Amino acid sequence: MAHEQRQETAADGPAPDLMMPPARRAAAKAHAAMLSQAAGKIASQLPLGADVDDFRRLLSTQAKP
């Protein structure tokens, strides 16, 4: 029964086949959400002529907790 409960908990997010503790899964989801928010903010601020290196440089400076 514990295995079924773990499967249900993991199935609500990406990579449900990865076995990890709920606290670690929650931390990974929070980190992904933070990166997604930072990427959206940066993408909206970059000029149309910006390339992937510009995006990567800004993301690495602004996505730090």
Percent of residues in the chain assigned helix, strand, coil, to nearest 5: 70, 0, 30
pLDDT for position 42: 85
The answer on pLDDT for 2 being more than 70 is no
- Tens of pLDDT, residue by residue over 41-63, are 888 888 888 888 988 888 888 76
Q: Which residue has the higher pLDDT, 55 or 5?
A: 55
What is the C-alpha to C-alpha distance for residues 10 and 64, in angstroms, rounded to an integer? 26
Q: What is the pTM of this model?
A: 0.59
